[in-house]
Amino acid sequence: MTTRLYYADTYLRAFDATIVERAEGGRRIYLDRSAFYPASGGQPHDLGTLGGVAVTNVVDEEERVAHVLAEPYTGDDAVHGVIDWSRRWDYAQQHTGQHVLSRAFVEVAAGDTKSFHLGDSAATIDVEHEGPGHDLLARVEDRANEIVWEDHEVKTRWTTVEEALRLPLRKPPDVEGDIRIVEVEAFDWSACGGTHVARSGQVGLIHILGTERYKGGVRVSFVCGGRALRRLR
């Protein structure tokens, strides 16, 4: 079993671990503990280095995490990992912004988010709505940015399914066992395993790029934080 350090600390940029298994000639590495986030829940995997070798993919294999390397690692079992911080920070801004934007859609437009995808240049949410017009989108965007600028604490905790169902979750959990809850304080509660900023103010800005009809609802494209700054610039 891999201890997943990113659950406890999104801001952990480097860590030490022990290799417990090597596969594919040393190009697939398993550790006792890891800060590398594997692709999951609409969020892509981290990049970085392990023992000085580039990590090109991180795979969630249920009880453990596989680190796929650009070339075989032949060093000692005691290994040092370094996270690509710019990528981690960008994804944390986008993912936290998604939680805020999805709740704003519920409050302002009565539209539930059905799925989320985080791409390299923009993120999308698929919302159950006939198609919000410009004025309604502006109100949703305004509400989302109010929460950003109010600088709410973003807290995570583990709880049981029974306890989670007593919270005002935006959508019911679809997993069994203990559940990780991400709360944008006093605004949004979601079951989520992703990486997030510590306060909503660190999202910086949420900017809706546009919408399109998709599977009976609407797909909303948006950017947050540094991506929003670069796009608006």
Closest CA to 35 of 12, 62, 61, 52: 12
pLDDT in tens, 45-85: 999 999 999 999 999 999 999 999 999 999 999 999 999 99
pLDDT of residue 86: 98
* Cα–Cα distance for residue pair 113/127, rounded to 1 Å: 4
Strand 64-69 and strand 28-31: pairing?
antiparallel
pLDDT of residue 74: 95
pLDDT in tens, 22-53: 999 999 999 999 999 999 988 999 999 999 99
pLDDT of residue 93: 98
pLDDT of residue 109: 96
**Mean pLDDT, rounded, of the chain:** 96
In the block, residue with structure tokens 């697939």: 28
* Cα–Cα distance for residue pair 233/230, rounded to 1 Å: 5
Strand 14-23 and strand 78-83: pairing?
antiparallel
Residue 176 has pLDDT above 80, yes or no: no
Q: How far is CA 1 from CA 35, 81, 124, in A?
A: 14, 18, 32
Q: How many CA atoms lie within 13 A of 215 on its CB side?
A: 9
Residue 8 — φ and ψ, nearest 5°? Answer: -90, -30
- Alpha-carbon Rg for the chain, nearest whole angstrom, is 19
| Token pair of 174 as six digits | 């679809």
pLDDT in tens, 78-117: 999 999 999 999 999 999 999 999 999 999 999 999 999 9
User: Cα dihedral angle (74, 77, 79, 84), rounded to 10 degrees?
Assistant: 60
pLDDT range class, residue 137, cuts 50, 70, 90:
very high
User: What residues contact 143, with CB distance under 8 A and at least 6 apart?
Assistant: 104, 107, 108
Closest CA to 126 of 138, 114, 136: 114
Query: DSSP per residue over 119-171, as a string?
Result: -SS-EEEEE-SS---HHHHHHHHHHHHHHHHHT-BEEEEEE-HHHHTTS--SS
> Considering the entire predicted model, what is its pTM?
0.95
Residue 143 has pLDDT above 80, yes or no: yes
pLDDT of residue 172: 85
User: Cα dihedral angle (182, 46, 78, 30), rounded to 10 degrees?
Assistant: 90
